[in-house]
Structure 1
Amino acid sequence: MANDTKIFHESWYRIANEKLCLRSSVKVHRQLFRGARWYVLSDPFNNQFYRLRPEAYEFVIRLGLDRTVEEVWMEMISAAPESAPGQEEVINLLVQLYQSNLLHYEMPPDSAKLFDRYKNKKQRIMKSNLLNIMFFRIPLFDPDSFLKNILPLIRLIMNPLGAILWLTVVGSAIKIVIDRFAEVSVQTQGIINPSNLFLLYIAMLLVKTFHEFGHAFAVRRFGGEVHIIGVMFLLFSPVPYMDATAAWAFRNKWQRILVGAAGMITEIFVAALAVFVWANTSGGLLHSLAYNMMFVASLSTVVFNINPLLRYDGYYMLSDWLDIPNLHTKATQQLTHLVEKYAFGYKRSTSQAYSLKEAFWLAIFGVLSGIYKLIVFASIIFFIADRFLLAGIIMALICCITWIIVPLVKLIKYLSSSPKLERIRLRAITVVSILLLFVVGFFYYFPFPNSFRASGVLKASEYFVVNSKVSGYVKKIEIEPGSQVSAGQPLIILENKEIDLQINEAMASLQESYAMRQLALAERPEDLATVEARIQAIQTRLDRLQHDREELVVKAEISGVWVVGNVADYLGMWIRRGAPIGQIINESAYYFASVIPEVHTSRIFDNEVKRASVKLVGQADTEVPVFRYVKIPMEQTILPSAALGWKAGGDVPIDPNDAQGVHSTEPFYEVRAYLDNNNGMKMFHGRTGKIRFELTSEPLLRQWWRSFRQLVQKRYHY
């Protein structure tokens, strides 16, 4: 597919009579990519690399200052007409070798016009750095002599014994983390506290320094050279970086992959050592620094380094594994090729892929990497804005300029002046205009389903929590759980001998008081009032004690189903006064108490709900329609059930200091939905689930804009 180029080219006359050759400093490395032989040209003085197919390499090595490009090309045509490169491919090849500064040439001004667009490479690199300000790089020094001096130590570390040591240390650290996972999780909550930010940055600086030297050691271990170590401003924070492009020249792709992985391998080893320090210290600066190093190493490895969709270690490892150098660039070029050839009708557009399968995966990679990059950068911007709002706004503006304004300007310039579109410019402009109009119309005018989900709990319309009105031991369970009971029917019998003793004592005191009253009537009338008061107090106490003895028989207050836990656990258990024992549930009607977050209150209160339905946990395949719902226009913070909170596995954040787990950290509104259970599905009081509200259809752009405004208002109170 990549060889589908023109044999003749209208600009050939400009280059045909020129004499060119490779620079004397260029080295050639033969490599195998997917079983095919390729050649990599490298110049150690400018650290530039370029990969050639065998046919192109045959052409390049024939170049010399004693023969013209035309002569070399004709020689190739005569020797191998089937595989010889066409004039268009030769021009593109020479241009790209010039861009990589690998050619020695003496050209008149007319020939140099072919290379005009490449003359400002340094300016473009600086411009790219300015646009990509969140990852700005500054080279500092050449570490190659230092690495050469410690090469024996590097070889001692990077060998099978070193791998065994690495596995032992990392495995032991993982076991410590698993054993103390609860402690590790709790400490994560304070990782972004202002008091910890300085330590977090120091940890990141240390971890990234080891990371970059891991790459440098691996390059040197396999015979490469490292000439650049510098500082990259990662989100305006300086961290080290190194240039490992020398690994391009390695013949063995697994060596190149190991170079890509060396930073993460070193980082994980450092994190493992930090685990040992953290586990064997308690509090203090060293303990906190070790934990921050653990956190930075794990987060950066998962989110950035190992992920191939960003241009970090995982990307280069995937590129080497697939034998597709410059994977991101080729994916972008492949997407451009698809647009130019099939949308604009530019038949001379050539694919960067060498098979249909590769073309497919290049296109998929290009799309996915763009989406993932957008998600990661948006998350970073919100993370920064949460701490430094002004910095977050500035970064958002820079990203808008970089990802919206600049590409739009480039698109306009491309459509208006690209030589490729000279004969098809009207079609290209028409296609782009129609596409833009379609996208705007599709997202701004076309109505889309508008719905949201909320957590909730199923409740019986009538239920009663059975509490113990007196303290006592459970003597007998009168009714088995799950049985239908009637109001007034005994459920549980308690036993409290202390009440019987107090009743006997009160009755004895009452008899004594009656005798004292008889004595007062006969001999001491002045004491009669006091004795009567004593009798009244004792009688009141006796009545209360007798009532408590009656309450030892726990009875049903309403009719319904008796629901209680494992009765075997209750027998002989001490039940304190007021403790809940079970519930009586009237199964005639249920409602679903849903918790509506503040971000959705305007949608539920200001819009018409077209339809609502509920899916319960354990019965997710059955949708229960709602025939009526009641909005309760009152802000609440007490959940209708602890099962909805984080502590019980729900998705509503709760106050960590609340032992009961029902106090939410954010206000919510309750909507009670009454269910139409025509399918006879079994209802269970207290079962959680999700309710789905379908609102009036609305264009996606309006929905997204509202969600964005709500997010900004919630996070920044603006």
Structure 2
Amino acid sequence: MGKSHFSHHWYRVANLKPALRNHVEIHRQRMRGKTWFIIQDAQSGKYFRVSPATRAMLLRLDGSETIDTIWSEEGQKLGELQPTQAEVIQLIAQLYRADLIRGDVPPFMAEFIDRSDKTARQNLLVRYKNPLALRFPLVDPDSFFEKGLPFVRLLFSRWGVIFWALLLVLGSLLATMHWGELTNNLSDRVLSANNVLLLLLLYPVIKVLHELGHGFTVKSLGGEVHDIGLMLLVFMPVPYVDASSSAVLKNRWHRAAVGAAGIMVESGLAVIALFVWLAAEPGIVRAGAFNVMMIGGLSTVLFNGNPLLRFDGYYVLSDILNIPNLGARSNKYLLYLIQHYLFGMREVESVATSKGEARWFIVYGISAFVYRMIIMVAIALFVATQFFFIGILLAALAVLNAVVLPLFKGIKYLFSAHELGQNRRRAKLVSFGAVATLGLLLFVIPARHVTESQGVFSLGEGGAVINTAAGFVAELPLESGTLVEVGTTLLLLEDEELDTQVRSLGAELREFQNSFAAVNLFDQVQANILKEQIARTEATLAHYLSRQEGLTIKARRAGIFILPSSTDLLGRYVSEGKTIAYVVPVQVREAQVVVSSDRSSLVSDDTQSVEVRVEGAIDQLIEAKILRQAPSALISLPSAVLSSEGGGSVAVNPQKDGQLEPLQKHYRFDIELLSEPEQAPVNARVHVHFVHSDKPIGLQWIRTARQTFMSLFNV
């Protein structure tokens, strides 16, 4: 059903003769192929976007004609583009409230304006009741930016952008090269007492430069800046600059440049700080440079430069897409979809005014909501690990804002919104039906419940061929893949220096023995000395003979001889204790699986079946069973292929170089495959599913959240 052009309230405003005030300016813009007009209030700095049809009516508001006359005559020219009477009433009320028109206000309009003022007071209350973000305007800085612009104009020009881009590329390369050093033990470095103090001192300074970037960019593009002040952001004083005059710039790239200026300033400072950090010695200068990098780099990527949050990145995206108020209109469009298609409210109108906007509204509205929730939860958990009470409070506020308040508003809308009218019953049925369906899916209907883990094939005792003496590989008697028995010679090593030592010690021993035989009957003191020398030499010789015997490497078990690098092993030096080959069982049936501590009890207590897939033959599903569980947490992973550096899923402790100590607590489970795999290469990674009793998805999520919480706080 099409919308009506008429309103039963029209008679109350038809005879008004309002006039636009002299300080009102109108600017023309092209957005997504359509022409729009921006109404600017030069005194208050407010902006309104109107269509060409509405602008034609506004230009005739000079106090000499009634609204009814203007609407009727313009309607003859505009045809279907004519604004409806309800839209005109709404527009006049907004203009009155913004003090953009003058004239008498009838009782009906006064009620309309009172309602608008009430909304404004509520918005003001919301703004100042939040102690984490309070704004206090201070002075008009326009003359300051005007006088300072000649000194920095080059930075805010095309050459400045090129220099910034080159700086960013170089900084990205250097950051990648030193990434491990930059991120090592990050939380402890950032949240230490001394560093927090330095962070609090540097943060306002960086934000001052950030806001100056916005101000000078606006001035360089011909705009004005009339408001600068102080904002208490999480009780930290941070400056702000009102650069909203960029809304009247005709070029969308110029408008985007104003929003991007702060991001560019902070990222540029971060790169310069990286240069200082690399060059400076440990101390206050290096620590300060690190904090500048973190503020200008990390905060830009996660917050200020991210378009999914209402910071600079959001306004840049909005300007580039030529979609004003992208976030608010996305939420309104999602609400429109619900009202129009689910509640059956055919009279509601879409906020999408041009081709392609609807798709952006859907994608942005959903993505922004999900990202905000993720960021809020991540921040709450991170802070809670350092400051428990504050983190729990932030988590509670996140749940309140994300779940409780929207749910309360939704219920209130269903039961009291006048616009629902005859559609109220359908809206209730659809809403409560959706909630009931979601509840069934999350908390009633059972779903497959598994724990995903990784492991490696267990070779058993004697499976790894480890040389007990260093030497050069002299001979490879067997080819890789040969079936061997216990005691079969696998490799022959040689060590000429060791052979020389053995010969020398043998000759020395014989000399001592001959001398002892000569003096034993005549000089007992000398004989005792020679006896001790013989004993020492024999012990030393036995040690070297043992090492020499170790140069012949033999199989300690029967199985298949596997030599991973047989092509280039001959003649290579092999250090002592190195694994150089394997003897694997003819049938590999056991695997060692690592399970995180938050899932180990579930695996132990509720495993119905075990499913295994071998890397390299991932299409083959093999049934298995649990043989045993290690009683204590792992000190070292069974194989490097399970670590994140080896392509696995377990992060290892970076402070333990050369070791495979898991960063988080893990337990080892030994499983037995119930059928032989098609292939079981040495150190092959296996993907294991421990299948548990079916459980609704919601209950699975709750358990995961509880386990995550307990592991974070070592409960």
**TM-score, normalised via structure 1 length:** 0.90
Q: Which residue of 2 aligns with 1:53?
A: 51
Of 706, 711, 715, which residue of structure 2 is paired with 1:709? 706
Of 115, 121, 124, which residue of structure 1 is paired with 2:122? 124
Q: Which residue of 1 aligns with 2:689?
A: 692
Q: What amino acid maps onto 1:63 in structure 2?
A: L
Contact 2:259-2:315 at 8 Å conserved across structures = yes
Contact 1:18-1:69 at 8 Å conserved across structures = yes
Q: Which residue of 2 aligns with 1:252?
A: 251
Q: Taking structure 1 as reference, are residues 320 and 167 closer, same or farther at Cα in structure 2, changes over 3 Å only? A: closer
Q: Which residue of 1 aligns with 2:407?
A: 408
Structure 2 gap ranges (5+): none
Distance (Å, rounded) in 2 between the aligned partners of 1:578 and 1:359: 66
SS of residue paired to 1:81: helix
Q: Which residue of 2 aligns with 1:357?
A: 356
Distance (Å, rounded) in 1 between the aligned partners of 2:88 and 2:663: 67
Q: What amino acid maps onto 2:710 in structure 1?
A: Q
Q: What amino acid maps onto 1:705 in structure 2?
A: I
Contact 1:50-1:97 at 8 Å conserved across structures = no
Contact 2:595-2:666 at 8 Å conserved across structures = yes
Q: Taking structure 1 as reference, are residues 663 and 270 closer, same or farther at Cα in structure 2, changes over 3 Å only? A: closer
The answer to which of 49-58 and 33-42 deviates more is: 33-42
Deviation at 1:48, TM superposition (A): 0.8
Q: Which residue of 2 aligns with 1:502?
A: 502
Of 132, 145, 151, which residue of structure 2 is paired with 1:147? 145
Give matches, 1:456-471, under 5 Å. Answer: 456-461=455-460, 463-471=462-470
Of 647, 651, 663, which residue of structure 1 is paired with 2:661? 663
Distance (Å, rounded) in 1 between the aligned partners of 2:654 and 2:557: 36
Q: Which residue of 2 aligns with 1:681?
A: 678
The answer to which of 93-102 and 551-560 deviates more is: 93-102
The answer to which of 566-575 and 577-586 deviates more is: 566-575
Q: Taking structure 1 as reference, are residues 78 and 545 closer, same or farther at Cα in structure 2, changes over 3 Å only? A: closer
Q: Taking structure 1 as reference, are residues 21 and 387 closer, same or farther at Cα in structure 2, changes over 3 Å only? A: farther
SS of residue paired to 1:593: strand
Q: Which residue of 2 aligns with 1:16?
A: 14
Distance (Å, rounded) in 1 between the aligned partners of 2:330 and 2:420: 21
Deviation at 1:42, TM superposition (A): 0.7
Q: What amino acid maps onto 1:513 in structure 2?
A: Q
Q: What amino acid maps onto 2:51 in structure 1?
A: R
The answer to which of 398-407 and 700-709 deviates more is: 398-407
Contact 1:26-1:43 at 8 Å conserved across structures = yes
Q: Taking structure 1 as reference, are residues 593 and 319 closer, same or farther at Cα in structure 2, changes over 3 Å only? A: same
Contact 2:447-2:697 at 8 Å conserved across structures = yes
Give matches, 1:127-526, under 5 Å. Answer: 127-130=125-128, 134-186=132-184, 188=186, 191-194=189-192, 195-355=194-354, 357-461=356-460, 463-497=462-496, 498-499=498-499, 501-502=501-502, 505-506=505-506, 509-510=509-510, 513=513, 516-517=516-517
SS of residue paired to 2:398: helix
Of 105, 108, 111, which residue of structure 1 is paired with 2:109? 111
Contact 2:484-2:559 at 8 Å conserved across structures = yes
Q: Taking structure 1 as reference, are residues 536 and 43 closer, same or farther at Cα in structure 2, changes over 3 Å only? A: closer
Deviation at 1:445, TM superposition (A): 1.4
Deviation at 1:121, TM superposition (A): 4.2
Deviation at 1:191, TM superposition (A): 3.9
SS of residue paired to 1:697: coil
SS of residue paired to 2:43: coil
Contact 2:443-2:696 at 8 Å conserved across structures = yes
SS of residue paired to 1:698: coil
Of 622, 629, 634, which residue of structure 2 is paired with 1:632? 629
Q: What amino acid maps onto 1:681 in structure 2?
A: E
Q: What amino acid maps onto 1:254 in structure 2?
A: W
SS of residue paired to 2:671: strand
Contact 1:503-1:542 at 8 Å conserved across structures = no
**TM-score, normalised via structure 2 length:** 0.91
**1:357-411 per-position Cα deviation (integer Å, ceiling 9, x unaligned):** 3223312321221111111111122222222221122222333333333323322
SS of residue paired to 2:587: strand
The answer to which of 85-94 and 99-108 deviates more is: 99-108
4+ residue runs of structure 1 moved beyond 6 angstroms? Answer: 523-544
Q: Taking structure 1 as reference, are residues 457 and 501 closer, same or farther at Cα in structure 2, changes over 3 Å only? A: closer
Q: Which residue of 1 aligns with 2:26?
A: 28
The answer to which of 262-271 and 563-572 deviates more is: 563-572
Distance (Å, rounded) in 1 between the aligned partners of 2:185 and 2:629: 38
Q: Taking structure 1 as reference, are residues 148 and 510 closer, same or farther at Cα in structure 2, changes over 3 Å only? A: closer
SS of residue paired to 1:588: coil
Structure 1 gap ranges (5+): none
For this pair of structures, how many residues does the alignment match?
712
Deviation at 1:297, TM superposition (A): 1.4
Q: Which residue of 1 aligns with 2:597?
A: 598
Distance (Å, rounded) in 2 between the aligned partners of 1:166 and 1:311: 24
Q: Which residue of 2 aligns with 1:566?
A: 565
Contact 1:50-1:100 at 8 Å conserved across structures = no
User: Counting strand residues as a fraction of each chain, which structure ranks higher?
Assistant: 1
**1:555-585 per-position Cα deviation (integer Å, ceiling 9, x unaligned):** 2222223334535665455555544433222
Deviation at 1:325, TM superposition (A): 0.8
SS of residue paired to 1:562: strand
Q: Taking structure 1 as reference, are residues 81 and 554 closer, same or farther at Cα in structure 2, changes over 3 Å only? A: closer
Q: Which residue of 1 aligns with 2:71?
A: 73
Distance (Å, rounded) in 1 between the aligned partners of 2:220 and 2:278: 33
SS of residue paired to 2:588: strand
Q: Taking structure 1 as reference, are residues 158 and 712 closer, same or farther at Cα in structure 2, changes over 3 Å only? A: same
Deviation at 1:248, TM superposition (A): 0.8
Deviation at 1:113, TM superposition (A): 1.9
Distance (Å, rounded) in 1 between the aligned partners of 2:524 and 2:267: 95
**1:23-72 per-position Cα deviation (integer Å, ceiling 9, x unaligned):** 32111101111232211001021111111111111122222333322222
Deviation at 1:508, TM superposition (A): 6.5
